[in-house]
Structure 1
Amino acid sequence: MVNLLVLICVGAAQASVAGFTSLGGFGTSSFSLNSAYSPFEGTELQEVRELDMQFTQMRAPCVYGGVAFSLTAAALTLVFLVVGAKPIQQLRTGLLAGECAFNLLAGAAYVAAVGLYLHFVSQVNSTEVCKRRERLYARRGYTSMNCVVQGGDAAVGLFGVVAACLYFASFVVCILAIRTVRAFQSNMAKAQHSPKSSIRDRSVRNHHVASRTSESSHSIQALATLV
């Protein structure tokens, strides 16, 4: 669920800073307000369209990278969730070890990904394209198209950190699960070994008793012959 929230916030962050002339914020050059009121016209409109195109294209790696990363993490998490939904006697420590490694790597990757995402956004916001675009929109009273980290980008960072914390917590739970499965398997092995050993001991004791009985009967027969 947190992976999906990250995915939604990545798309929402891009759409919120797309501007008037970038359809959906994915770098298309269609003017989305042809039939409605537009604050720009003439050469100013053309300049805004070019700046919006450049800005959204500069942010495109954040979008596509964030979408691919969150979808991959969500898919792998679902795989481990489905495969691990078994009774304790059917769980294997190898599978749990793989899940532990995935949780640890996913948590570390989310920390790195959030840092890279915010760093890349800050770099794009510090470019001359963003500053020219901010000034052009500000002249028309649109102060939301500024060169600071937007709320959508902050939400991506927030949910990314939450996802990292959850993966690290899952790593700890997975280690405890491995210990529980090993203890269960050890107890099962002892329980299976214990009846066999008792049966073996009883057969050995019965053999000794039979040997002693046979020896005593031979002794009695020899004594009767002498008499």
Structure 2
Amino acid sequence: MAERGCPGAGRRGRAVAGGRAVAGTAPEEPLERRRCRYLRTGRACCQMVEVLLAVLVLVCSSVSGGSAGGYTGLPALGGIYYYHYGGAYSGFSGADGERAQQLDQRFYLLKLPIARAAMAVGGCLLVFPCILILVGVLQVPWHFPAWLLIECALDIAIAVGTVPALYYFFHSLVGVYNSSVCKEREQLYQSKGYQGFSCSLHGAEVAVGLLGCLATVAYLFSAVLAVRGYRAVCQQKQKPVQL
């Protein structure tokens, strides 16, 4: 009976003598036949790289959407400690301190949806390769070779979809940094001599873009490996067992 997903797979033979395979003529071990060996394949390594990139995207996105920082007032040690990011600031008093707090909160709320969307995408990019690794360890591609073609299509879809996602991410951030809230906040902190509040992309946000580009390349490479894996599985299923 032909194997589903591989044309001509029914020509595979089975050599048996007295109900057992002839000694010294064991069949050639098929691709991904042993579960532990899958983790050493090129596809598995590529999927592990995708996992790593997704984790880094999550971390950088969380930094981008973290606390807005800024002035915290004297009750929160604003007059004692000075931090460049996320801490308390001296130099503010009265109306300026209240205005700084309001601007920090409004700026934080403007960036929060963008950061959450980036974290959601990063979470999806983390879950997908983990599922593929599990599928490979369970030898699903060997029993159902057509899965590799499905995997290839999904990899290409993710790689292509990452491009507009990155455009939306940076386009939205640029809109936030060009807003009147950010401009007023920047001027207020600069008037007190504080740096680090400029309305421009910071390192973590730039890193998200670079990691997204690397993820696109990794998924395209993974798609190529999936097609090669499909061909290799089909070829091995068509091989007769040699005596």
Structure holding more helix per residue: 1
Q: Which residue of 2 aligns with 1:62?
A: 114
- Please report how far the alpha carbon of residue 105 of structure 1 lies from its aligned counterpart in structure 2 after TM superposition: 1.4
Flag structure 1 segments of 5+ consecutive residues without an equivalent.
Answer: 22-29, 196-227
Taking structure 1 as reference, are residues 80 and 114 closer, same or farther at Cα in structure 2, changes over 3 Å only? same
Q: Which residue of 1 aligns with 2:70?
A: 20
SS at match of 1:113: helix
CA distance in 1, matches of 2:222, 2:74: 44
SS at match of 1:84: helix
SS at match of 2:184: helix
Answer with 1 or 2: which has the greater Rg.
Answer: 1
1:45-194 matches, within 5 Å, as: 45-86=97-138, 90-187=142-239, 191=240
CA distance in 1, matches of 2:110, 2:141: 52
CA distance in 2, matches of 1:73, 1:89: 21
TM-score normalized by the length of structure 2: 0.68
The amino acid that maps onto 2:181 is V
Taking structure 1 as reference, are residues 79 and 32 closer, same or farther at Cα in structure 2, changes over 3 Å only? farther
Alpha-carbon RMSD: 2.4
- Please report how far the alpha carbon of residue 117 of structure 1 lies from its aligned counterpart in structure 2 after TM superposition: 0.6
TM-score normalized by the length of structure 1: 0.73
CA distance in 1, matches of 2:141, 2:214: 32
Conserved? CA contact 1:108–1:164, under 8 Å? yes
**Structure 1, residues 31-69: CA drift from partner, whole Å, max 9, x if none?**
797124332221111111111111111111111101111
Taking structure 1 as reference, are residues 126 and 33 closer, same or farther at Cα in structure 2, changes over 3 Å only? farther
1:21-36 matches, within 5 Å, as: 21=71, 34-36=76-78
CA distance in 2, matches of 1:97, 1:3: 23
Q: Which runs of 4+ in 1 moved over 4 A?
A: 30-33, 86-89
The amino acid that maps onto 2:70 is F
- Please report how far the alpha carbon of residue 75 of structure 1 lies from its aligned counterpart in structure 2 after TM superposition: 0.6
- Is 1:11 aligned to residue 53 of structure 2? no
CA distance in 2, matches of 1:88, 1:50: 55
**More contact order relative to length (CA 8 Å, sep ≥ 6):** 2
